[in-house]
């Protein structure tokens, strides 16, 4: 067994050369997370079709690995910057060495997936209500945020039912052949599932598992287990799973430990193939809302769970880069990993708090009340922003500003429109072409485009033609490796070479155009010559389709992405050929700043706040409008909420953002004050550095002036138990009504003031107050309690009417003090106090306070 011998012998000297004729290739591992399962499966896939014997050596550890075995390569523990050697020997070793050299230079560096940084438990502090309280909880690391409640369900370990023998000979059964056949069927099943995979993520996961399924290390270990321990196929598979997993876990490298999951998944599937689903004993069926607790969980196990009951995941030993975590993130299932000290689980109802990083299993009244308030806060906020989904998003100046969604797969379309997207601003079609052995046919493409156009029900759908090349190779196109792929043959520059491919896509798009409001968008356009050529191809294909009697929309709008400075300065000429434009800031910034968008060592220069870049955007938007062209933005900048005021002020017609942020961006856009946005933009454009722009954005308040007090800020006759709950309720209400996005920061600011002096007044009144830029709109709020609560530790009068004053730190201190002083004076008067204590109509109470305190601003 390859893995065991390499890991336990721990030899540091590599025996070169293994073959006299062999060729060697030296490289340094470019992958931040080293060669773990995903990159290893990419290498395996590449070497699978080469004829040479290929061995990978890790100079740091002295280990070597068969480059056709994912497990072997993973066990070689190649880490970032490790010096490595590849030995190639065989009849075609010269050709294979060249191929490998190109692969290592061009494809290996982009073979891993970046994973969002986790929120660590150390950053978390319990909120006031839960502080200094006895309740059973466990800290973990949040990898998918959210709040979930359900019964704890412990996920089991791999095993087979007692009816399946683990030892002994079974007459007439060749156990070795049985396993071999099973593995072949399994690899074929993965091939089949890959053909139907919808997303790049699913494809990558399936490929990684297929690589494990066809890894020679598995049958080799199975044979050894049978020979040494007299196992049947079932026994040997379980033993193999345990053995390889233990070896991987024993390395102490979390990335390798996670790979044990892929091995488990493959062994599990193999057992199912050989003995049927019912013979396997791991899976507890979910029958009610559940939080699944597992030491580890395979992606296959996650995919096999009933997701209508799966509310949260607690993975005691999974790392943040495991495939399972990546899948959970894409399904939006709140997940904690590295939960410490959880021990044996009983099936109790628990709460997974993916904001604080807590698993709560012990409850008392206070904890229950805290989470009841948390649910209520989320529900009320979601209800308010969901209500905005049907309203047109019109800026204060009366100009329509559309918030559209960006899609990677057709399947996301429905969710985008449910979230209030005004259209699809960018549908990246690369996914349809990736993870397959050949390009999709015209009909296959037509199906995909039709799904989105139909779901849009007349709303605009901008579909971008294939943006391949650069950092996105397609194996079956056999593109030549380039020194500078980002400056080479990518996107439109490839269409001339792959004309049939481009024409096929155009035909599929034109056919789908008669189903709704489809627009075609061309990536990486730089010159009018390119524009002219593209238009000619489209016209020709339209002509051919009509000659064939196939319906298309008579006039499908065609647009260009503005992703290069060349295009940004050619708007006048491009306007002759294109009906609309959309700014691809991801590329535009990289070409403007001469900074590779994926290179961490120059990331400090890849800064959207560079004033020069902002000036470029403004100039090109103006130019597009001067030539009567609609212009949107579909790069990542569009979805970053801090830039929204600037983009609105620049006069963009649309932003296209990830589906999940459509509601929040709509909410923020509808609250933007255009005058304030324009003033902010003018200041930003005049800045000399990105830092200056960042400080401006942080301090700016561009929300539409809202009244300091509105009826929604008058909450009458609620039941709360104490001052802590009252302060939380006030801050939650600020959050629900878009007056803060950081309710806990406002709460802390209030408590700081309370710790200096009590804000209680005679007659059962209190005026908690703070100055904090966590507040986005100066607010006065009234909360009247059913039962008074004590406000100070002494025996002073309990408080029944609470008046919150939450002001922005950067606003004049006088505003705060003026209102406070007036209030304090009024509270001396019996009639004033009497009115606040008895009026039952929030509108009247609101009017009364506005008038009495002169709250006109």
Can 489 be counted among the known catalytic residues? Answer: no
Based on CB atoms, which residue is closest to Mg ion, 459 or 597? Answer: 597
Of 175, 202, 225, 467, which one interacts with ligand PEP (CB under 6 A)?
Answer: 467
Based on CB atoms, which residue is closest to Mg ion, 472 or 822? Answer: 472
CB atoms within 10 A of CB 698: 10
Q: How far is the CB of 545 from ligand PEP (least distance, A)?
A: 28
**Binding to Mg ion by residue 653, rule CB under 5 A?**
no
Can 816 be counted among the known catalytic residues? Answer: no
Give residues 612-641 in contact with ligand PEP (rule: CB under 6 A): 634-635
Based on CB atoms, which residue is closest to ligand PEP, 319 or 639? Answer: 639
**Binding to ligand PEP by residue 197, rule CB under 6 A?**
no
Beta bridge partners of 806: 770, 779
Based on CB atoms, which residue is closest to ligand PEP, 587 or 654? Answer: 587
SS3 218: helix
Q: How far is the CB of 586 from Mg ion (least distance, A)?
A: 5
Whether the bond between 804 and the residue before it is cis, its omega within 30 degrees of 0, is no
Give residues 554-583 in contact with Mg ion (rule: CB under 5 A): 563
Q: How far is the CB of 431 from Mg ion (least distance, A)?
A: 15
- Pick the closest to residue 642 from 615, 623, 618, 661 (CA basis): 661
Instruction: Choose the catalytic residue: 137, 323, 737, 816.
Output: 323
**Binding to ligand PEP by residue 563, rule CB under 6 A?**
yes
Structure token digits, residue 364: 């008392």
**Binding to ligand PEP by residue 110, rule CB under 6 A?**
no
Instruction: Choose the catalytic residue: 267, 489, 672, 769.
Output: 769
What residues contact 345, with CB distance under 8 A and at least 6 apart?
A: 152, 153, 154, 293
Separation CA 764–CA 790 (nearest Å): 9
Of 312, 584, 651, 743, which one interacts with Mg ion (CB under 5 A)?
Answer: 584
- Considering CB distances under 5 to 8 angstroms, the limit depending on partner class, which of ligand PEP, Mg ion, none binds residue 634? ligand PEP
Separation CA 785–CA 837 (nearest Å): 9
CB 120 within 8 A of CB 339: no
Based on CB atoms, which residue is closest to ligand PEP, 96 or 587? Answer: 587
Beta strand 147-154 with 83-89 is unpaired
Instruction: Choose the catalytic residue: 29, 238, 489, 634.
Output: 634
Separation CA 783–CA 386 (nearest Å): 26
Q: How far is the CB of 609 from ligand PEP (least distance, A)?
A: 16
User: How many residues belong to the site for Mg ion (CB under 5 A)?
Assistant: 3
Can 393 be counted among the known catalytic residues? Answer: no
Q: How far is CA 739 from CA 709, 710, 853, in A?
A: 11, 12, 21
Q: How far is the CB of 653 from ligand PEP (least distance, A)?
A: 16
Q: How far is the CB of 582 from ligand PEP (least distance, A)?
A: 8
Mask for 583-612, x = binds ligand PEP (CB under 6 A): -xxxx-------------------------
Q: How far is CA 180 from CA 187, 213, 274, 356, in A?
A: 11, 10, 11, 48
Separation CA 701–CA 676 (nearest Å): 8
Helix ranges, 740-838 (H): 743-756, 813-826, 830-838
Based on CB atoms, which residue is closest to Mg ion, 467 or 653? Answer: 467
What is the CB-side half-sphere exposure of residue 556 using CA atoms within 13 A? 28
Separation CA 480–CA 769 (nearest Å): 65
Mask for 504-543, x = binds Mg ion (CB under 5 A): ----------------------------------------
Query: In the chain, helix, strand, coil percent, each to 5?
Result: 45, 15, 35
**Binding to ligand PEP by residue 428, rule CB under 6 A?**
yes
What is the CB-side half-sphere exposure of residue 183 using CA atoms within 13 A? 22
Instruction: Tell me which stretch binds ligand PEP (CB under 6 A): 58-66, 73-81, 328-336, 581-589.
Output: 581-589
Mask for 381-410, x = binds ligand PEP (CB under 6 A): ------------------------------
Sole residue written with tokens 């966590």: 774
Q: How far is the CB of 656 from ligand PEP (least distance, A)?
A: 8
Based on CB atoms, which residue is closest to ligand PEP, 634 or 708? Answer: 634
Q: How far is CA 789 from CA 366, 727, 760, in A?
A: 15, 12, 11
Structure token digits, residue 44: 């395996």
Separation CA 857–CA 848 (nearest Å): 15
Based on CB atoms, which residue is closest to Mg ion, 465 or 733? Answer: 465
Q: How far is the CB of 524 from Mg ion (least distance, A)?
A: 7
Based on CB atoms, which residue is closest to ligand PEP, 421 or 823? Answer: 421
Q: Which residues of 705-740 are buried (b: 16+ CB within 10 A; e: fewer)?
A: ebbbbbeebbbeeeebeebbbbbbbbbbbbbbbbbb
Beta bridge partners of 138: 359
Based on CB atoms, which residue is closest to ligand PEP, 78 or 614? Answer: 614
Separation CA 467–CA 434 (nearest Å): 11
Can 229 be counted among the known catalytic residues? Answer: no
Structure token digits, residue 685: 């454009």
Instruction: Tell me which stretch binds ligand PEP (CB under 6 A): 184-192, 579-587, 807-815, 818-826.
Output: 579-587
User: How many residues belong to the site for ligand PEP (CB under 6 A)?
Assistant: 10
Mask for 660-699, x = binds ligand PEP (CB under 6 A): ----------------------------------------
Give the residue numbers marked as catalytic: 36, 323, 634, 769
The binding site for ligand PEP (CB under 6 A) comprises 426, 428, 467, 563, 584-587, 634-635
Residues that bind Mg ion (CB under 5 A): 563, 584, 587
């Amino acid at each position: 067994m390859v893995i065991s011998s390499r890991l336990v012998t721990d030899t540091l000297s590599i025996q070169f050369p293994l073959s006299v004729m062999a060729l060697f290739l030296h490289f340094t591992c470019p992958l931040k997370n080293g060669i773990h399962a995903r990159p290893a499966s990419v290498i395996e896939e590449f070497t699978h079709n080469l004829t040479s014997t290929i061995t990978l050596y890790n100079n740091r550890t002295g280990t070597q690995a068969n480059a056709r075995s994912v497990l072997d390569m993973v066990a070689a523990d190649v880490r970032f910057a490790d010096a490595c050697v590849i030995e190639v020997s065989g009849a075609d070793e010269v050709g294979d060495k060249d191929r490998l050299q190109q692969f290592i230079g061009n494809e290996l560096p982009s073979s891993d997936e970046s994973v969002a940084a986790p929120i660590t438990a150390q950053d978390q502090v319990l909120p006031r209500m839960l502080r200094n309280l006895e309740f059973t909880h466990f800290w973990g690391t949040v990898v998918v945020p959210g709040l979930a409640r359900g019964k704890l369900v412990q996920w089991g370990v791999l095993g087979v039912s007692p009816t399946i023998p683990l030892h002994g000979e079974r007459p007439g059964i060749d156990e070795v052949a049985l396993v071999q056949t099973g593995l072949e069927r399994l690899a074929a099943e993965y091939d089949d599932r890959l053909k139907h995979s919808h997303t790049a993520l699913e494809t990558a996961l399936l490929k990684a598992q297929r690589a494990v399924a066809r890894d020679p290390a598995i049958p080799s270990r199975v044979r050894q287990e049978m020979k040494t321990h007299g196992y049947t196929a079932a026994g040997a598979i379980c033993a193999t799973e345990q053995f390889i997993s233990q070896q991987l876990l024993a390395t102490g490298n979390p990335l390798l430990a996670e790979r044990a999951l892929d091995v488990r998944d493959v062994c599990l599937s193999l057992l199912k193939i050989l003995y049927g689903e019912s013979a396997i004993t791991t899976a507890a069926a979910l029958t009610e809302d559940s939080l699944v607790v597992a030491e580890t969980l395979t992606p296959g196990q996650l995919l096999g769970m009933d997701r209508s009951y799966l509310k949260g995941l607690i993975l005691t030993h999974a790392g943040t880069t495991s495939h399972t975590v990546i899948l959970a993130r894409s399904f939006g299932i709140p997940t904690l990993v590295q939960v410490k000290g959880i021990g044996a689980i009983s099936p109790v109802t628990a709460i997974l708090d993916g904001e604080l990083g807590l698993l709560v299993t012990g409850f008392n009244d206070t904890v229950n009340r805290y989470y009841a308030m948390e649910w209520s806060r989320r529900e009320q906020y979601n209800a308010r922003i969901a209500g905005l989904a049907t309203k047109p998003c019109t800026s204060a100046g009366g100009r329509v500003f559309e918030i559209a969604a960006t899609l990677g797969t057709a399947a996301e379309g429905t969710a985008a429109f449910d979230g209030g997207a005004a259209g699809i601003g960018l549908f990246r079609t690369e996914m349809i072409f990736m993870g397959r052995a050949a390009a999709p046919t015209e009909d296959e493409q037509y199906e995909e485009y039709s799904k989105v156009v139909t779901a849009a029900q007349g709303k605009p759908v901008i579909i971008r033609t294939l943006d391949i090349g650069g950092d996105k190779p397609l194996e079956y196109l056999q593109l030549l490796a380039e020194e500078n792929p980002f400056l080479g043959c990518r996107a439109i520059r490839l269409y001339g070479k792959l004309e049939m491919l481009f024409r096929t896509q155009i035909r599929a798009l034109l056919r789908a155009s008669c189903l709704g409001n489809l627009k075609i968008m061309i990536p990486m356009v730089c010159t009018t010559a390119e524009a002219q050529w593209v238009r000619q191809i489209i016209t020709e294909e339209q002509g051919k389709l009509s000659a064939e009697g196939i319906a298309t929309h008579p006039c499908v709008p065609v647009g260009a992405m503005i992703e290069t400075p060349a295009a940004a300065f050619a708007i006048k000429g491009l306007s002759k050929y294109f009906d609309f434009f959309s700014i691809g800031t991801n590329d535009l910034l990289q070409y403007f700043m001469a900074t590779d968008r994926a290179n961490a060592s120059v990331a400090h220069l890849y800064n959207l706040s560079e004033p020069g870049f902002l000036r470029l955007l403004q100039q090109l938007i103006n130019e597009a409008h001067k030539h009567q062209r609609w212009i949107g933005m579909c790069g990542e900048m569009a979805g970053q909420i801090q830039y929204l005021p600037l983009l609105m002020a620049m006069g963009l017609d649309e932003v296209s953002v990830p589906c999940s942020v459509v509601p929040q961006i709509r909410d923020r856009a509808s609250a933007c004050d255009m005058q304030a946005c324009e003033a902010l933009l003018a200041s930003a454009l005049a800045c000399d550095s990105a830092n200056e722009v960042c400080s401006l954005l942080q301090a700016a308040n561009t929300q539409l002036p809202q009244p300091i007090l509105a009826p929604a800020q008058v909450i009458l006759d609620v039941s709360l138990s104490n001052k802590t709950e009252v302060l939380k309720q006030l801050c939650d209400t600020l959050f629900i009504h878009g007056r803060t996005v950081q309710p806990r920061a406002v709460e802390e600011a209030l408590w700081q003031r309370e710790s200096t002096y009590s804000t209680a007044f005679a007659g059962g009144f209190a005026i908690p107050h703070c100055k904090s830029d966590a507040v986005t709109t100066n607010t006065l709020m009234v909360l009247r309690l059913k039962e008074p609560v004590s406000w100070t530790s002494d025996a002073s009068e309990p408080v029944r009417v609470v008046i919150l004053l939450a002001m922005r730190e950067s606003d004049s201190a006088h505003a705060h003090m003026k209102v406070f002083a007036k209030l304090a004076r009024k509270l001396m008067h019996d009639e004033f106090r009497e009115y606040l204590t008895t009026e039952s109509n929030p509108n009247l109470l609101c009017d009364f306070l506005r008038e009495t305190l002169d709250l006109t601003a």
